Structure formats: C-alpha cells, structure tokens
Amino acid sequence: MAATGRGRSPYGKRPGHLQRICGILVALALAWAGLMTAASAAPGRPLQLVALGDSLTAGYNLPERQAFPAVLEAALRERGRAVTVSNAGVSGDTATGGLARLDWSVPDGTDGVILELGANDMLRGTEPEITRRALEAIISRLKARNIPVLLAGMYASRNLGPDYVKQFDAIYPDLAATYGLVFYPFFLDGVAGEARMTLPDGLHPSAEGVRRIVDRILPSVETFLTRLAR
C-alpha cells in the first residue's frame, strides 16, 4: 500500500472529519427513530357514530349544541374518547320514516348507530307490529353493512291500554335479545314526567333534560364503544 501523507488517514480525510460524519449519521438515526415512535403513538381517526332518531335526538326547539348528539359527543370527549356523533334526528319521524331514509342518514364509514325511534309511532297509536318490523329492518340492514347498533328503547303511554302497552314495550327488549345489541331500556329515563326536564309541551327534553339523558345513557354508550374497538 502506498504511503499516505503525514497526519492523514488511509481514507484521505482527517480523523476529525470522519468523526463528524459518524456523529451526523447517529443524529439522523435517532431523529428517525423518534419520528417512528411518534407515528406509532398517534391516535387513529375518531370513531364515527350516527344518532338516528326523531325530535328527541334532533333537539326540538334547542340550539344544535344542546341537542343529544352534541352533548353526548362532548361528554365522551371529556372522558378521553375520540368520537364524533352525527345528528340524524328528524322531528316527527317514525320507525318507518327512519327506515326509508336509512341509507342516506347513515353514510359509509359509520362505525356505529344509536337507534332512537318509535316514540311518534306510539303517540299516533301505530300498531306495534308495524313499528317492530320497521325497527327490525333497520337493524338487519345495518347488520348487513357491518354497522353495530345501540338500541334506545321507549315505553308506551299508560293511557293507551294494557294490551297496547304490553305489545309496544316488548318491542325493544325482544329486538335487543334477538340481535345481541347493547340496549338502553328507556331513552327518556329521568326526564319523562319531570316538568323541569322538559319543554313547556311536556314531551320534549329541555337542555337540562338532554344533559340528564346523556348522563344516564353514557355507561351504555361506553360499553358500546368498547365493543366497537374489539
């Protein structure tokens, strides 16, 4: 091997220069490792929920921020849940109406649906079997799209007679058991019949009533979210 010049390395560079190159390479490697770690720790996209319902979901006579979907989303985010809750409530809607608009109310990419329909059927005295068939069709079509459902139940007004009450009240637990759904038995629990929880019409929840609904349904929703994450 030919002799090298005095004070020079065999590679034709000063030793200090080689050390600087090595230092730069180490720094770049560390930086890349940091970026990869940060990327792996970044949260995924928020779960997309749709609240499919009637005026109780839509927020009748309330600002949008005080409607059930917005209040529920805020409560979940306070608990560290990355969730969006879209408002697909239509005032006056029946279970049959919800079925008719299902495909455009629940878009592709939806991770789960909170189904709250049937109150208007009951108020109109619709035959319970009609309500049952419509709700079952909604659940079946969502199941075919691999979209899980949390079913929010409703009770019939007791002045409709024992036969109607028995048939209507059985719809929701029966469907929940048949399809293995997360089930919240009565959407208006703690609100129905409470004057300060409802608007002057005595039917629709006030802002305070919506907050109570959210407080009470929240454990069921969190169970639902846990199921979605599996």
Please give the mean pLDDT across all residues of the chain: 87
- Identify the pLDDT of residue 45: 86
Question: Mean of the pLDDT values across residues 8-31?
Answer: 47
- Identify the pLDDT of residue 38: 36
Measured CA to CA, the distance from residue 91 to residue 170 in angstroms comes to 24
C-alpha distance from residue 130 to each of 37, 51, 96, 136, 155 (Å): 54, 22, 8, 10, 16
- Identify the pLDDT of residue 230: 73
pLDDT at residue 135 greater than cutoff 90: yes
Least confident span in 25-29, 61-65, 148-152: 25-29
Q: Is 55 one of the annotated active-site residues of the chain?
A: yes
Measured CA to CA, the distance from residue 45 to residue 213 in angstroms comes to 27
Measured CA to CA, the distance from residue 165 to residue 149 in angstroms comes to 24
- Model confidence pTM above 0.75: yes
Measured CA to CA, the distance from residue 47 to residue 80 in angstroms comes to 12
Residue pLDDT, tens place only, 32-76: 444 333 333 335 789 999 999 999 999 999 999 999 999 999 999
Q: Is 204 one of the annotated active-site residues of the chain?
A: yes
The residue from 40, 108, 163, 201 that is catalytic is 201
The residue from 54, 55, 86, 111 that is catalytic is 55
The residue from 93, 111, 121, 204 that is catalytic is 204
Looking at the DSSP assignment, which residues form a beta bridge with residue 51? 87, 114
- End-to-end Cα, the chain, rounded Å: 66
